[in-house]
């Protein structure tokens, strides 16, 4: 059984080596967790009127980081499982894009209201055994990727972990965190990433911890520090203006504060903005009129200007990247848990009214920012 207490000298050396890994000046990223499913459902993506592989489109347009979610054993879908994520990473690497692996440690969506333990781990009362389960799941999957020559450059240990992770109850407790348990589980995942990196031939993945909304980040990371969180490399933030009380300027200021006080690189790993308020299928769109920021209309140009402005604010705060969620979740004949079609087609990078032609928002990735 793995010990989760402290860091060995060897682990400290691995951390130093990982921190020296080559990084771009700025990450222009896209969460492409839905792409394989959309293609299997008959979806097409067009560039200048021609049907084009979506991975190729993103790479050509300037995307240098693909984020992809991994669920433990999602028996309700054939996607975001170990094989599907393997293919996403392989295709991203084939198109010369780096990868951020987002491990949810759940069989379904993990977010600030839901952190549900995987079914195979449910009922494990012994914290040491559960920590070992987290370690083995993380380490074994990363070594599978390593043996295939597609180790990711970064790994998220948990997704939007504002509340206690891997909760062993029917309804997630969104208010109380058992920090001893929480940190032990997160440290197990971090140690697995470090150990896998220690055995890797070239890429030694960096570690990210991810909180939804800048409003809640400082308190969480301060509590994690006090309670003994293991060394990590990146602070990841979700920033959706309709769910945040922070303006873009406040986001920029918070990025700077987090970077200074915690000594970590900071990245916005989830953001979105609608290019229209129109629906193109029966599925209800999540981002409606309530999601709009003053000054940015729900138009293709409004979406582009939103992303340019947001990215500049992140750069101004010393942030190292912006990742868009989920720019390729187009409308198809397939269904989600909540209805047929896409709940996001009005916020993708593709025009659902014109055969999914690439929208102007792609231009934000090659915009001449002030740095």
50-51 and 46-47: which strand pairing?
A: antiparallel
9 pLDDT above the threshold of 60? no
In three-state secondary structure terms, 10 is helix
258 pLDDT above the threshold of 50? yes
d(C-alpha 275, C-alpha 287), whole Å: 10
Confidence of residue 242 (pLDDT cuts 50, 70, 90): confident
Tally the C-alpha atoms within 13 A of residue 99's C-alpha that lie toward its C-beta: 32
Summarize pLDDT for 312-322 with one digit per residue, the tens.
Answer: 999 999 999 99
Summarize pLDDT for 160-194 with one digit per residue, the tens.
Answer: 999 999 999 889 999 999 999 999 999 999 999 99
Distance of CA 104 to the CA centre of its chain: 9
Contact 2, 188 (CB under 8 A): yes
* pLDDT of res. 7: 38
d(C-alpha 191, C-alpha 195), whole Å: 6
Q: What is the DSSP string of 168-191?
A: -SSS--SS---HHHHHHHHHHHHH
230 pLDDT above the threshold of 60? yes
What is the pLDDT averaged over residues 195-221? Answer: 97
d(C-alpha 44, C-alpha 38), whole Å: 8
Pull the structure tokens for residue 270. Answer: 């989830």
57 pLDDT above the threshold of 50? yes
- The candidate with the shortest Cα–Cα distance to 69, out of 113, 40, 96, 99, is 99
What is the pLDDT averaged over residues 218-241? Answer: 98
Which domains occur in the chain, in start order? 9-366 (3.20.20.80)
d(C-alpha 274, C-alpha 314), whole Å: 20
Phi, psi torsion values for 330, nearest 5 degrees: -80, 170
Active site residue 270: yes
What is the pLDDT averaged over residues 131-137? Answer: 98
253 pLDDT above the threshold of 90? yes
Confidence of residue 89 (pLDDT cuts 50, 70, 90): very high
Tally the C-alpha atoms within 13 A of residue 128's C-alpha that lie toward its C-beta: 4
Q: How many residues does the chain have?
A: 371
Give, to the nearest 10 degrees, the angle between helix 179-199 and helix 9-19.
70
In three-state secondary structure terms, 1 is coil
Q: What is the DSSP string of 187-250?
A: HHHHHHHHHHHHH-SS---EEEEEEESGGGHHHHHHHHHHTTPPP-SEEEEE--GGG-S--HHH
Confidence of residue 21 (pLDDT cuts 50, 70, 90): low
Residue 6 is inside which H or E element, if any?
none
Model confidence, pTM? 0.93
d(C-alpha 63, C-alpha 43), whole Å: 21
Nearest 5 degrees, angle CA 264-CA 211-CA 110? 135
**Identified catalytic residue from 37, 153, 254, 270:** 270
**Identified catalytic residue from 160, 254, 265, 326:** 160
């Amino acid at each position: 059984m793995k010990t989760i207490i402290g860091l060995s000298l060897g682990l400290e050396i691995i951390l130093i080596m990982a921190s020296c890994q080559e990084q771009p000046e700025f990450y222009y990223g896209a969460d492409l967790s839905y792409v394989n499913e959309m293609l299997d459902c008959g979806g097409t993506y067009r560039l200048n009127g021609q049907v084009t592989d979506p991975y190729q489109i993103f790479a050509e347009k300037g995307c240098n980081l693909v984020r992809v979610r991994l669920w433990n054993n999602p028996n309700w879908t054939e996607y975001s499982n170990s094989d599907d994520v393997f293919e996403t990473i392989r295709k991203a690497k084939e198109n010369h894009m780096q990868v951020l692996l987002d491990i949810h440690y759940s069989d379904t969506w993990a977010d600030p209201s839901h952190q549900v333990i995987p079914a195979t781990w449910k009922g494990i009362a012994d914290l040491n055994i559960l920590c070992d389960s987290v370690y083995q799941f993380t380490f074994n999957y990363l070594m599978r990727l390593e043996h295939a020559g597609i180790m990711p450059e970064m790994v998220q240990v948990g997704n939007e972990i504002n509340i206690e992770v891997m909760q062993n109850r029917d309804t997630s407790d969104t208010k109380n965190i058992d920090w001893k348990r929480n940190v032990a589980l997160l440290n197990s995942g971090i140690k697995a990433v470090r150990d896998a990196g220690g055995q890797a031939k070239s890429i030694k993945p960096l570690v990210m911890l991810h909180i939804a909304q800048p409003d809640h980040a400082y308190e969480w990371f301060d509590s994690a520090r006090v309670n003994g969180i293991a060394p990590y490399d990146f602070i990841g933030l979700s920033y959706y203006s309709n769910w945040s009380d922070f303006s873009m300027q406040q986001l920029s200021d918070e990025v700077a504060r987090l970077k200074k006080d915690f000594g970590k690189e900071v990245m916005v790993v989830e953001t979105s903005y609608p290019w229209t308020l129109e629906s193109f299928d029966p599925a209800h769109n999540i981002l409606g009129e309530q999601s709009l920021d003053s000054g940015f209309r729900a138009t293709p140009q409004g979406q582009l200007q939103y992303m340019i402005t947001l990215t500049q604010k992140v750069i101004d705060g010393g942030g190292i990247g912006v990742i868009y969620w989920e720019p390729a979740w187009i409308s198809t004949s397939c269904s989600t848990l909540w209805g047929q079609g896409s709940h996001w087609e009005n916020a993708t990078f593709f025009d659902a009214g014109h055969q999914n032609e690439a929208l102007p928002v792609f231009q934000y990735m090659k915009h001449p920012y002030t740095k």
